[in-house]
Structure 1
Amino acid sequence: MMASFGWKRKAGEKVCKSVVEQFEAEAEKAADDGPRQDDGVDWLHAIKRRREILLEDCAAKSRRLKEEGALLAERGRHWEAIKKWDEAIQLTPEDPLLYEMKSQVLTILHEVFPAVKAAEMAVKFRPLWWEGWQTLGRAQLNLGEVDLAVRSFQIAIHLCPSERTLWQEDLTWARTLQKQQIATKEKIRQEEETKKQILNAPELNQDYDFESDEVLAACVAVAERQTRYEELKRTAVIIDAEGNIKNVLTEEAGSADSATPSKEEFVKARGL
Structure 2
Amino acid sequence: MASFGWKRKAGEKVLKSVVQQFEAAAEKPEDGGPRAGDEVDWQHAIKRRRELLLEDCAAKSQRLKDEGAVLAEHGRHWEAIKKLDEAIQLTPDNPLLYEMKSQVLTILQEVFPAVKAAEMAVKFRPLWWEGWQTLGRAQLNLGEVDLAVRSFQVAIHLCPSEGALWQEDLQWAWRLQKQHLASKEKTRQEEAAKEQILNAPELQRDYDFESDEVLAACVAVAERQARYEELKRTAVVMDAEGNVRNVLAGDDGSEEEQFVKARGL
* 1:243–1:163 Cα change, 3 Å: same
Report matched runs for 1:86-165 at 5 Å: 86-165=85-164
Report matched runs for 1:1-272 at 5 Å: 37-38=34-35, 44=42, 47-251=46-250
Give CA deviations for 1:164-191 in whole Å, capped at 9, x if unaligned. Answer: 1111111111111111111111111111
Which amino acid counterpart does residue 34 of structure 2 have in structure 1? Answer: Q
Aligned to 1:269: none
Which amino acid counterpart does residue 37 of structure 1 have in structure 2? Answer: P
Question: Higher relative CO (CA 8 A, sep ≥ 6), structure 1 or 2?
Answer: 1
Which segments of 5 or more consecutive residues in structure 1 lack a partner in the other structure? 1-29, 31-35, 254-272
Secondary structure at the residue paired with 1:84? helix
Secondary structure at the residue paired with 1:52? helix
Secondary structure at the residue paired with 1:62? helix
Length-normalised TM-score, structure 2: 0.77
Secondary structure at the residue paired with 2:150? helix
Separation in 2, partners of 1:41, 1:142: 62
Which segments of 5 or more consecutive residues in structure 2 lack a partner in the other structure? 3-32, 253-265
Deviation at 1:38, TM superposition (A): 4.8
Equivalenced residues, count: 219
Give CA deviations for 1:45-73 in whole Å, capped at 9, x if unaligned. Answer: 65544333222111111111111111111
Separation in 1, partners of 2:51, 2:195: 73
Separation in 2, partners of 1:225, 1:38: 101
Greater Rg by CA: 2
Separation in 1, partners of 2:175, 2:88: 36
Q: Give the percent of matched residue pairs that are identical in Structure 1 and Structure 2.
A: 81
- CA contact under 8 A between 1:37 and 1:43: conserved in structure 2? no
Separation in 2, partners of 1:208, 1:145: 51
